[in-house]
Amino acid sequence: MTESELTTTVTNEKAILRYMNGISEQNISLFISPREADQPRQYRSSIMRVEAENQQLVLHQLVPGDWKEVIQLSKDIEVTCHMQYGTIKFLSSLSPLDDSENSMYLQLPIPKRLSKKQLRSSFRVSLLKHKSEASLKLGQDCLLTGFCSDISMTGALLHLPASNTEIKVGRIMEQFQVTIANVLNLKCHAKISHVSKSDTDKLSVGLHFLELEPAQKKAIKTAIIKLERLNIVK
């Protein structure tokens, strides 16, 4: 794992099934290659249907068509899928959908384990299933308190009550705090990157963290990984 990436391992069966269904519904390509090859060729396919009751993924034909010369049935393969917010990988093996050697379709078992890799800059985890409290001090007598709906390594999105004190994009906030129950307690400087007002006069405020200490960065990273895992299970 490079410094700019986060990798999580997913073993929850329901979560893995949601990933497989999403890949199928969005018709996202799967890239398949033999695991042990020194310079593995990649072949492309997609999921035709997910058979949850049989724990199988039925695939469209692999392309290019010379895959049989490179990939052996029942041998280990690596499957890679580039989704919108990250890359999923898992190990598996191919088999024909029926007993015929010339079967048009292939199948592979739904994985029991997969890894998800995502750039830190784009890795945002939802807090909507978790209790959080966020506050911004706008002045000597103005403290806005609300909640945080998502957080990343570089910032957060807050939901706050309306204020008579104007909040401008670019303003540096010297007193920002967010608390996520049993997960994170962060105090830091932050820069306003986004402000919008809802029909009910509630504020959505995007923040970019400033001058984080190494220990704070580590705490945020640990919190994001924990929250991602909790979100998968819930």
At residue 174's C-alpha, the angle toward residues 171 and 175, to 5°, is: 120
Structure tokens of 125?
């985890």
Share of the chain above pLDDT 70, in %: 89
Residues 6+ apart with CB under 8 A from 170: 191, 192
Q: How confident is the model at residue 193 (pLDDT cuts 50, 70, 90)?
A: very high
Q: Are 37 and 83 in contact (CB under 8 A)?
A: no
Query: Of the candidates 154, 164, 228, which has an alpha carbon nearest to the alpha carbon of residue 193?
Result: 154
Q: For residue 3, is pLDDT > 50?
A: no
Domain ranges of the chain: 5-122, 125-233
Domain 5-122 falls in which CATH fold? Pnp Oxidase; Chain A (2.30.110)
| pLDDT at position 210 over 80 | yes
For residue 126, the Cα-to-chain-centroid distance in whole angstroms is 10
Q: Does domain 125-233 have CATH number 2.40.10.220?
A: yes
* pLDDT average, residue stretch 154-168: 87
Model confidence at 209, pLDDT cuts 50, 70, 90, reads very high
Mean pLDDT of 85-99: 84
> Does 5-122 match 125-233 in CATH topology?
no
pLDDT of 114 > 60? The answer is yes
Position 1 confidence tier, pLDDT thresholds 50, 70, 90: very low
**Whether pTM exceeds 0.85:** no
Tell which phi-psi region holds residue 27, choosing left (phi > 0), alpha (psi between -120 and 50) or beta: left
Q: What is the pLDDT of residues 143-159, one digit of tens each?
A: 889 999 999 888 999 99
